[in-house]
Structure 1
Amino acid sequence: MGQKKINVKPIKNKETLIQFGEELQKGKHGKRDFLIMAIGIKTGLRISDILNLKVSDVKNKIQTEIVEIKTGKKRTLHLKSLTSN
């Protein structure tokens, strides 16, 4: 049998996005999950690039360089902006 299809809709307003982020932070891995969401939203990185990041790539850093998996392009992520509005 095939996999069940899930209908995922984009978050279209700021209030829903904030609420989603607050709910993420309540979980067992809340800080990690929130940071994954923030990186995705604020950088536009593909999920494969986000999941390839290591804690050492981002912890206590203002910026970090990555190589995008799909394109092979180098990219600088400005991490300080991830926690600001």
Structure 2
Amino acid sequence: MAKVGVEQSLTNIQQALRDKGYDVVELKQESDAQNCDCCVVTGLDSNVMGMSDTSTKGSVIDANGMSADEVCRQVESRLQ
């Protein structure tokens, strides 16, 4: 199953993705995202510096305002 990085504060989303069989990695630091197929973030740490460096080649999903089910559907659609 795909490896999905999820920010630490999104515990409900981490659990929902685990329940669906995904390999969930908690994103504690930037390097944790390197081998992930997809990452889920809160969007709270927006790019205020205008830098465009990335540490993952996978999709990034902003979970702000989304339920755990909505995020799971986004992950599934982006990984197909």
* TM-score interval for Structure 1 and Structure 2 normalised by the shorter chain: under 0.3
TM normalised by structure 2 equals 0.27
Q: Which has the higher contact order (CA 8 A, sep 6+)?
A: 2
Say which structure is richer in strand. Answer: 2
From the CA coordinates, give the structure whose radius of gyration is larger.
Answer: 1
TM normalised by structure 1 equals 0.26
Say which structure is richer in helix. Answer: 1
